[in-house]
A and B are shown apart, each in its own frame.
Chain A
Amino acid sequence: MGRGHGGALGAAYVPGTSVVHRLAPHVKLVAVLAFALVVVATPVHAGWAWSAYAGFGVLVLSVAAVAGLTPRRLARGLAVEVPFVVFALLLPVVSRGPRVEVAGLSLSESGLAAGGGLLAKATLSVLAATVLAATTEARELLRGLERLRLPAALVQILSFMIRYADVVSGELRRMRVARESRGFRPRHLGALRVLGPAAASLFVRSYERGERVHLAMLSRGYTGRLVGAPAAAVRPAQWAVGLSLPLAAAAVLGAGMLAG
């Protein structure tokens, strides 16, 4: 996998050998989830909230630095936030409570705090999740989820989805190239007459591929369970390294609560 594969799923991973890369995937998943929980638990309206956000920011950026991620890779991860930036920017305008004048606009004080807090929290969590995705391969993440006791049936569905997402997206891309090389330019809703059947044939192809995969599995003795290699034990030291991020974040939060 990795870069050379190029598919939609492989693009998230940045190969490397850093400490962060070598941590067990389920340790990383727990660490990022716990970090996000600490960030979410920070009260928005506390006076020290912004110092806490800054502390969290330093923590997650130093992990990214240890993992050797470039600012460009992190910025690419942040792009998913954009729709919610709009929502957060609207909050100060539509919120109630005492108003302040900023550049001629009457904005709500609590709305400013809430909107800013939302942006900060979403950004911090997206950064942490980006570090996770950039240092862990898709199938490793799947094994991590498996070790965290995700139901086996769901893990199987996930594994098929991850295995075939690039194949199906590749098919979609080839269909688009074929359409466009015949002069098709989607401009208005009328394009649905072409794009609808295209998506439909993508579904039929995907479903039929699923049927063929199932037959191939049956012929190899599939009985409804997938057998994987036994998972290696994880030393306590790994947990200590992995959990240092959420623990440090919790310490920042605790310090803020004590000082505030």
Chain B
Amino acid sequence: MHVPDGFLDAPTSVATGLVAAGTVAVALRGARRELDERTAPLAGLTAAFVFAVQMMNFPVGAGTSGHLIGGALTAVLVGPWTAVLCMTVVLVVQAVLFADGGLTALGTNITLMGLVAVALAYGAFRLLVRLLPRTRTAVLAGAGVGAFVSVPAAALVFVGLFAVGGVADVSLGAVAATMGGIHLLIGLGEAAITVAVLSAVLAVRPDLVHGAAHLRRPADLAPRPLTAPAAGGAR
């Protein structure tokens, strides 16, 4: 669900555009710390993954289906800065190649789905991982909660932007309640899918999960420390 052109007035669009540009500039530096000079191919392929997985339909029941947005999942998998870049790149491609999300609203969309969603998801994830015991379950719980809060939070920020730069005279309480309510449900779906995907990645390649680096143990096979030659000898 991308904001199209015309939803927000020109000043708000320009302002969110500047926020988005700043975010991307900071994220480009941060991603270099996460992925060093491998940034371009790995972030590019991860973005391709996000793009593809957004096309995957997950049945919700009653004949409807939803798809993953992926901000929280990507942040836990490859780190928050790279995740911001991946979401940005996906949004740019969708706007320029598919007219999905307006060109003037690109900054708004990057701010909502790149900055707000990823930052909140990763913040909640880090917090929970710190508070909970150092286990795989805690990582999954953190990612699930992060994914859950990221969706309604982004929706509420959108309502806030709509209050500042929207073109309709609506009672904000009503819009916030509707958008928040719908997105709480979407957030539940996002959390379920995020946990399902993440637990499977943790099962096969835990070393690829950026957010689970603290769970990594040194290999069980280690060279045996040399026994001191003096053990039973002289003296």
Which A residues lie at the B interface, using CB under 8 A? 8-9, 12, 29, 32-33, 36-37, 39-41, 44, 77, 80-81, 83-84, 90-91, 94-97, 108, 110-111, 114-115, 117-118, 120-122, 124-126, 129-130, 132-133, 138, 141, 145, 151, 153-154, 156-165, 167-169, 171-172, 186-189, 191-193, 195-204, 206-207, 209-211, 213-214, 217, 224, 226
Contact = CB atoms under 8 A, between A and B. Distances in A.
Contacts of A167: 48
A184 to B, nearest CB: 11
A189 B52 contact: no
Interface string B82-106: 0001101110110111111011100
B201 A125 contact: no
Q: Classify the interface of chain A: helix, strand, loop or mixed.
A: helix
Interface stretch (B141-149, B164-172, B217-225, B226-234): B164-172
A68 B161 CA distance: 38
Interface stretch (B32-40, B113-121, B127-135): B32-40
A80 to B, nearest CB: 4
A78 B82 CA distance: 31
Nearest to B37: A224
12 contacts: A12-B98, A91-B170, A110-B169, A114-B169, A121-B4, A124-B6, A125-B6, A158-B93, A161-B48, A161-B93, A195-B196, A226-B40
A157 B39 contact: yes
B235 interface: no
A169 B51 contact: yes
Most buried by A among B61, B90, B197, B203: B197
A204 B174 contact: no
Interface of B: 1-2, 4-7, 9-10, 13, 24-25, 28, 32, 37-49, 51-53, 55-61, 65, 68, 77-78, 85-86, 88-90, 92-93, 95-100, 102-104, 167-171, 174-175, 178, 192-193, 195-201, 203-205, 208
Contacts of B77: 203
A162 B40 contact: no
Given A129-B95, A189-B59, A164 B48 contact: yes
Given A80-B98, A188-B59, A203-B77, A161 B47 contact: yes
Contacts of B193: 192, 195-196, 199
B55 A110 contact: no
A157 B89 contact: yes
B53 A202 contact: yes
Nearest to B168: A114
Given A122-B102, A169-B51, A200 B41 contact: no
Nearest to A158: B89
A117 B167 contact: yes
A196 B51 contact: no
A160 B45 contact: yes
Contacts of A162: 93
Contacts of A169: 48, 51-52, 55
Contacts of B28: 151, 153-154
Contacts of A121: 4-6
Contacts of B167: 44, 114, 117-118
Most buried by B among A90, A108, A159, A200: A200
Nearest to B88: A154
Contacts of A33: 103-104
A40 B6 contact: yes
Contacts of B43: 157, 160
B85 to A, nearest CB: 6
B200 to A, nearest CB: 3
A39 B168 contact: no
Contacts of B85: 154, 157
Given A121-B5, A157-B85, A202 B49 contact: yes
A8 B51 CA distance: 10
Contact of B48 (A90, A133, A165): A165
